[in-house]
Structure 1
């Protein structure tokens, strides 16, 4: 007999990789054998990442202020991006005060800017923005 839908039962598998069962662990155990043990939390790098992100936000704020306050600057940056002149676009962005690692991409509609920072010699954070100029 032909069955267009061969599976008659569907199962939901949790995305987290483990399931907590509603029973208590056997006596003498402090945790269920079905849960993971996590390492102790150390907020040092997390706090350094937050500090680095504050720096990225300040730099992107400098660029946004320059774009909103200076129409000539906005026109030159948009023209460089539309012409796929990455070096000129990067030079203009750097002239606004951006010093961190900079990654640019653009197409005829959008300029994408990504800034990355490091803390303790580890790339810890990135800030991405996209600015659109066409509908």
Structure 2
């Protein structure tokens, strides 16, 4: 046989032996659903929501809000963190702020059973132009 540049191969290719190309649809098998971790996350997130509500109640106090915005405007992050700690929330809070807004990240605390935090509630609010 000689090489013919105008000869195109047949698609799909003819199998080398019968049964080589089998057109079975891919069917993935998944493990059975286990909602234990998800249920714990839901419970933990409820705590975050409760703590977030306490945070918002305190931020709604005009005196507290004025004090926090004043020290934030002066760039005193340690004092802002101290004000947030004075609320005595049961979960850690990370505070980030700019001249136009503030972000609070409430996270669940790791335990021996769950060494990593499962959930984070991010509260992002505008407080300037």
Note whether the superposition's TM-score is higher than 0.5.
yes
Larger radius of gyration: 2
Whole-Å separation in 2 of the counterparts to 1:36 and 1:103: 41
* In structure 1, distance between residues paired with 2:28 and 2:69: 50
The answer for the alignment partner of 2:126 in structure 1 is 132
Question: Aligned pair 1:104/2:98, yes or no?
Answer: no
Matched length: 104
Aligned to 1:37: 29
Q: Deviations over 1:3-47 (max 9, x none)?
A: xxxxxxxxxxxxxxxxxxxxxx85xxxxx32x4322221111111
Could you list the structure 1 runs, at least 4 aligned residues long, displaced by more than 4 angstroms after superposition. Answer: none
Out of 18, 35, 46, the residue aligned to residue 54 of structure 1 is 46
Q: Relative to total residues, which structure has the larger strand share, 1 or 2?
A: 1
Q: Report the Cα offset of residue 48 of structure 1.
A: 0.7
Say what the alpha-carbon RMSD is for the aligned residues: 1.8
| Structure-2 separation of matches of 1:83 and 1:39 | 54
- Report matched runs for 1:13-28 at 5 Å: 26=24
Q: What 5-or-longer segments of structure 1 have no aligned partner?
A: 1-24, 27-31
